[in-house]
């Protein structure tokens, strides 16, 4: 008798689809000029205790970095505020929330310097701005920039999708005012539809970003394996740990929401802790 088919939750369903897509790209590129170096690293099982330990170690990295680490994260809230200000100035009010929430898609790229700090602390090396800046001379900097460009493209795709959702629900006319816009969002069927569809579409973008980049950037910094191999490993690690990584995604999302208050200032502390913790989690998830 055939074994009962496993019913995947939405998170796992998306990860399986991404894994298949990356495998297809991997096979296509490997028949060409060789897009990666060596075999794919092993991936390990993770538990919620690994998340707790990674967060604890990430917090220790933050404390050891003194003023260096928080300053790295200032770029994140400042950039978010600039984007929000531009949206208000050009009457793109419907894009303020997508700009702020979607900017989290770029978090793994913004955290590369934080990964380098944790990596050097592991080795007992001194952490200075000069040392952290040496990531720009890493053999894998081209791959890091290529993957960063991919995340940037994903960010703009999210903005386009969010604006399209607004157009077919509350649009196409721009909001008359902030209060009128908020009233339409929370008190009308069209506004509720925008929220529901927006959350669903945003979930797809968030899972995609998490799967392809959460371990890919640390791996590229740690070993020059190539973009395809790094993304393939990241997706494989997330697919091997769907429940734990879904919990990690919720922790990250919750921390970013709390860090956004007030006016994104909390991200100055939240962002580096998450960045360092991601490196520590990478060490647990990806083997030799």
- Sorted by where each begins, the domain ranges of the chain are 10-20+41-285
Please count the other Cβ atoms lying within 10 Å of the Cβ belonging to residue 47: 13
Q: Is pLDDT of 270 > 80?
A: yes
How confident is the model at residue 230, as a pLDDT?
92
* Each residue's pLDDT tens digit, 17-45: 555 555 554 544 444 444 455 677 889 99
Mean pLDDT over 172-199 rounds to 90
Q: Please, which pLDDT band fits residue 3 given cuts at 50, 70 and 90?
A: very low
Is the model more confident about 181 or about 100?
181
Question: CA–CA separation, 61 vs 118, rounded Å?
Answer: 7
Q: Is pLDDT of 110 > 70?
A: yes
How confident is the model at residue 23, as a pLDDT?
55
Mean pLDDT over 220-242 rounds to 91
Q: Is pLDDT of 111 > 70?
A: yes
Q: Please, which pLDDT band fits residue 174 given cuts at 50, 70 and 90?
A: confident
* Each residue's pLDDT tens digit, 48-93: 999 999 999 988 887 665 545 555 556 666 666 666 666 666 677 8
């Amino acid at each position: 008798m055939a074994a009962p088919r496993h019913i995947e939750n939405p998170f796992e369903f998306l990860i399986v689809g991404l894994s298949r897509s990356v495998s297809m790209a991997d096979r296509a590129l490997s028949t060409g000029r060789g897009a990666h170096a060596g075999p794919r690293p092993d991936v390990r099982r993770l538990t919620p205790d690994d998340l707790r330990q990674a967060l604890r170690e990430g917090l220790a990295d933050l404390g050891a970095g003194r003023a260096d680490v928080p300053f790295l994260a200032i770029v994140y809230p400042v950039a978010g505020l600039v984007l929000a200000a531009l949206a208000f100035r050009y009457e793109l009010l419907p894009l303020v929330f997508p700009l702020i929430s979607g900017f989290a898609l770029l978090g793994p790229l913004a955290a590369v310097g934080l990964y380098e700090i944790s990596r050097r602390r592991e080795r007992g090396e001194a952490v200075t701005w000069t040392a952290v800046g040496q990531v720009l001379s890493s053999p894998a900097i081209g791959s890091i920039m290529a993957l960063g460009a991919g995340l940037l493209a994903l960010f703009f795709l999210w903005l386009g999708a969010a604006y399209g959702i607004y157009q077919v629900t509350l649009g196409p006319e721009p909001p008359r005012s902030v209060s009128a816009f908020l009233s339409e969002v929370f008190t009308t069927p069209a506004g509720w539809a925008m929220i529901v569809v927006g959350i669903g579409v945003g979930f797809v973008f968030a899972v995609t970003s998490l799967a392809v980049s959460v371990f890919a950037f640390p791996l590229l910094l740690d070993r020059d394996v190539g973009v395809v191999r790094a993304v393939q490993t990241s997706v494989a690690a997330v697919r091997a740990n769907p429940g734990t990584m879904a919990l990690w995604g919720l922790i990250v999302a919750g921390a970013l929401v709390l860090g956004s208050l007030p006016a994104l200032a909390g991200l100055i502390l939240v962002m580096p802790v998450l960045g360092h913790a991601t490196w520590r989690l990478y060490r647990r998830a990806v083997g030799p």
